[in-house]
Amino acid sequence: MTQTMIAEHPLDRTLRLEPLGGGRYRGATTPDYWNMAGPFGGTTGATLLKAVLDHPERRGRPVALTVNFCAAVAQGEFAISVRLVRDGRSTQHWQVEMTQGETVASTASVVTGAERDTWSHAVASPPVMPPARDLEIMSSEGRNAWLQRYEFRYAQGEPTRGLASAEAPGQAVSQAWVRDLPARPLDYVALAALSDTFVVKILNVRGDVPPVATVSLSTYFMADEAALARQGSRPLATISDARTFKHGFNDQSAELWSDDGQLLAVSHQVVWFKG
At closest approach, how far in Å is the CB of 234 from a copy of itself?
20
Count residues binding a copy of itself (CB under 8 A): 64
Strand (E) or helix (H) holding 13? helix 10-14
At closest approach, how far in Å is the CB of 118 from a copy of itself?
5
Instruction: Report if residue 117 touches a copy of itself, rule: CB under 8 A.
Output: yes
* Rounded-to-integer distance, Cα 79 and Cα 154, Å: 36
* Rounded-to-integer distance, Cα 221 and Cα 216, Å: 17
Nearest residue to 49 via CA among 33, 22, 72, 25 = 25
- Cβ proximity to a copy of itself: between 137 and 166 the closer is 166
At closest approach, how far in Å is the CB of 223 from a copy of itself?
8
Pairing of the two strands 249-257 and 91-100? unpaired
Binding a copy of itself (rule: CB under 8 A), the pick from 16, 30, 74, 113 is 113
Name the segment binding a copy of itself (CB under 8 A); options: 11-19, 143-151, 230-238, 249-257: 249-257
The sheet that has 249-257: what strands, in order across it? Answer: 18-21, 24-28, 77-87, 91-100, 103-113, 61-69, 212-221, 263-273, 249-257, 236-241, 174-180, 150-156
Instruction: Report if residue 161 touches a copy of itself, rule: CB under 8 A.
Output: no
At closest approach, how far in Å is the CB of 80 from a copy of itself?
14
- Cβ proximity to a copy of itself: between 17 and 212 the closer is 212
Q: How deeply is 206 buried, as exposed, middle or buried, from its count of CB atoms within 10 A (0-12, 13-18, 19+)?
A: buried
x-or-dash string of contact with a copy of itself, 72-111, rule CB under 8 A: -------------xx-x-xx-x-x-x-----xx--x-x-x
Instruction: Report if residue 270 touches a copy of itself, rule: CB under 8 A.
Output: yes
Please work out, in degrees rounded to the nearest 5, the angle formed at the alpha carbon of residue 131 by the alpha carbons of 269 and 221: 35
Instruction: Report if residue 259 touches a copy of itself, rule: CB under 8 A.
Output: no
Residues 6+ apart with CB under 8 A from 210: 202, 273, 274, 275
Residues 6+ apart with CB under 8 A from 242: 172, 201, 205, 250, 251, 252, 253
Binding a copy of itself (rule: CB under 8 A), the pick from 140, 220, 230, 234 is 220
Residues at the site binding a copy of itself, with contacts judged by CB under 8 A: 63-64, 66, 68, 70-71, 85-86, 88, 90-91, 93, 95, 97, 103-104, 107, 109, 111, 113, 115-124, 166, 169, 171-172, 205-206, 213, 215-216, 218, 220, 222-224, 241-249, 251, 253, 255, 263, 266, 268, 270, 272-275
